[in-house]
Amino acid sequence: MQSSVFAALGEPSRLRMVELLRTGPLSVGEIAEKLEIRQPQVSKHLRVLGDSGIVSVEALARKRIYHLIPEPFEQIAQWTESFETLWEVRMDSLGTFLDSITDDND
Domain hosting 32: range is: 3-104
Determine contact, residues 52/76, Cβ cutoff 8 Å.
no
Cα–Cα distance, 106 to 89 (Å, whole number)? 26
The CATH number assigned to the domain holding 50 equals: 1.10.10.10
One pLDDT digit (tens) per residue for the chain, 106 residues: 578 898 999 999 999 999 999 999 999 999 999 999 999 999 999 999 999 999 999 998 899 999 999 999 888 888 888 888 888 878 888 888 888 888 766 6
Domain count, the chain: 1
Torsional class of 88: left (φ above 0), alpha (ψ -120 to 50), beta (otherwise): alpha
Determine contact, residues 47/61, Cβ cutoff 8 Å.
no
